Amino acid sequence: MTGDRKPETMEGAGKVGPADTTAQILELHCKLVEEGCIECGLCQKDCLFLQRYGSPKQIAGQPMATAGDLRFSFECSLCGLCIAVCPKKVDPAAMFAAMRVAGQELGAGEFRQHAGLLRYESMGASPWFSWYGLPEGCDTVFFPGCAMAGSRAARVSQTYHHLRAMIPTLGLVLDCCAKPSHDLGRRARFHRMFRALRNGLEARGVRTILVACPSCYRVWSDYGGSIAVRSVYEILAEAPPVHRVKAITPVTVHDPCPTRNDTTIHGAVRSLLAAMGLPVEEMKHHGRKTLCCGEGGAACHLVPAMAGNWTALRADEAAGRRIITYCAGCTNFLGRLAQANHILDLYFAPEQTLAGRVRVTRSPLTWLARLLLQRTAKDLVRPAVIASRDREGKVLFRQG
Ligand code: SF4
Ligand code: SF4
Ligand code: SF4
């Protein structure tokens, strides 16, 4: 297995070393779960995946006779609720992620249902949709992520413009972090694509990356090396809001699962809402114990009913209150069963958002929106240096 600055599984950091083989890493994760799990049932309470396949101890102790026995791990949402509730700090999510990596390496990780997601990632990191613009003296860039750029291109421009007033040499990077490959166990591809992005920015003197997407935050946080990551919500919360609203009806907040342990972001989002004048009522599961929206780990492509259970649980807990979240994917998923808004829509267009009139671009028009965003980015950023990926994924810089 290819080593990076972190072990191969995000949640398993510190337990296994980068020099270990995939089989050794998986064996170690299974051993840790089998020895640590006391079968208290807490993690199974809300998780249909564990209800179907058994306690983490039972699963870890099962013989995996063939590579095909690993395929069930692609039905786990990798949401991390299990470790968050575990009294013994057992990490079943890391075990399932390791099973996916092993499944891929043994040729049992191919699912036709993932083709669209993998195409989406490839296009995002292609010469056509990637674009980097770094002004003179740039050491900080805004990385909005694919989902935000496609669904809310105007919001990306607005956020960049707003942040640039605070950080005059701010750059903009429209690219994909390759999280789908990471979560689907395609670690060689993930490392190749992410390293090209990270190393290119490092070599150009970028020291900080500002992200809007919690999944991007997870990737940059775990694999970003010398580049520090911050969420844009932390930066926005440091200044007075653009708008205040006269709302008396409380909203509730959905914390996306990739950043369940990043309490600074949870606090920043609530500070932003408070500064805007919006009262917040918490759901039972929030912060570290948040629930998945249903999109996690790409399980929704294989077992929509099982993944949909998370969405239903979320809608139940919201109990009719408007859900504010800070992930474009979560907003989309939760919007199937509840009233859900992205905080950047609320921040820049509160009246339209609260009136249900905010416009969000849907697929396939998201591709057109991303192209148009790229076209206007040069005027917005006025870069000294620009870059894009080539067909192999290399990031090629040139004068702007
Ligand atoms: S990561 Fe989430 S979906 Fe997977 S086993 Fe844990 S709680 Fe269940
Ligand atoms: S919460 Fe922990 S100890 Fe309890 S069943 Fe789940 S993994 Fe085992
Ligand atoms: S994590 Fe962010 S950049 Fe990566 S695929 Fe998702 S939206 Fe795109």
Q: Are 334 and 311 in contact (CB under 8 A)?
A: yes
Cβ atoms < 10 Å from Cβ of 3: 12
Nearest protein CA to atom 3 of ligand 2, as residue: 37
Cβ atoms < 10 Å from Cβ of 384: 16
Q: Which ligand is nearest to the CA of 209?
A: 3
How many CA atoms lie less than 13 Å away from 315 in the CB half-sphere? 15
Dist CA 280 CA 274 (whole Å): 8
User: Ligand 3, residues 114, 132, 213, 366: which to mutate, most atoms within 8 A of Cβ?
Assistant: 213
Nearest protein CA to atom 4 of ligand 2, as residue: 40
Written as one string, the DSSP assignment of 81-110 is: HHHHH-TT---HHHHHHHHHHHHHHTT---
Strands 251-254 and 322-325, how do they pair? parallel
Q: Is 93 in the pocket of ligand 2 (CB under 6 A)?
A: no
Q: Which ligand is nearest to the CA of 34?
A: 2
Q: Give me ligand 1 centre to Cα 195, in Å.
A: 28
Confidence at residue 248, expressed as pLDDT on a 0 to 100 scale: 78
Q: Are 75 and 49 in contact (CB under 8 A)?
A: yes
**Closest Cα partner for 155 from 35, 328, 288?**
328
Q: Give me ligand 3 centre to Cα 212, in Å.
A: 10
* Ligand 1 atom nearest to CA at 43: 7
* Ligand 3 atom nearest to CA at 329: 7
Per-residue pLDDT 10s for the chain (400 aa) are 333 333 343 333 334 444 568 989 999 999 999 999 999 999 999 999 999 999 999 999 998 878 899 999 999 999 999 999 999 999 999 999 999 999 999 999 999 999 999 999 999 999 999 999 999 999 999 999 999 999 999 999 999 999 999 999 999 999 999 999 999 999 999 999 999 999 999 999 999 999 999 999 999 999 999 999 999 999 999 999 999 998 779 999 999 999 999 999 999 999 999 999 999 999 999 999 999 999 999 999 999 999 899 999 999 999 999 999 999 999 999 999 999 999 999 999 999 999 999 999 999 999 999 999 999 999 999 999 999 999 999 999 999 8
Confidence at residue 20, expressed as pLDDT on a 0 to 100 scale: 67
Q: Is 85 in the pocket of ligand 2 (CB under 6 A)?
A: yes
Dist CA 284 CA 287 (whole Å): 10
Q: Which helix (H) or strand (E) holds 142?
A: strand 140-143
Q: Give me ligand 2 centre to Cα 90, in Å.
A: 7
140 sits in the region (left: phi over 0; alpha: psi -120 to 50; else beta) called beta
Confidence at residue 17, expressed as pLDDT on a 0 to 100 scale: 47
**Closest Cα partner for 143 from 217, 61, 36, 55?**
217
Q: Which ligand is nearest to the CA of 294?
A: 1
Q: Is 92 in the pocket of ligand 1 (CB under 6 A)?
A: yes
Q: Is 82 in the pocket of ligand 2 (CB under 6 A)?
A: yes
Confidence at residue 246, expressed as pLDDT on a 0 to 100 scale: 82
* Ligand 2 atom nearest to CA at 92: 7
Nearest protein CA to atom 8 of ligand 1, as residue: 47
**Closest Cα partner for 335 from 239, 254, 225?**
254
Q: Cβ < 6 Å from ligand 3: which residues?
A: 121, 124, 145-147, 176-177, 179-180, 213, 215-216
Dist CA 119 CA 184 (whole Å): 13
Q: Which ligand is nearest to the CA of 61?
A: 2
Confidence at residue 1, expressed as pLDDT on a 0 to 100 scale: 31
Confidence at residue 194, expressed as pLDDT on a 0 to 100 scale: 98
185-to-68, 126, 153 alpha-carbon distances in Å = 14, 21, 29
> What is the identity of the amino acid at 286?
H
Confidence at residue 339, expressed as pLDDT on a 0 to 100 scale: 96
Nearest protein CA to atom 1 of ligand 1, as residue: 78
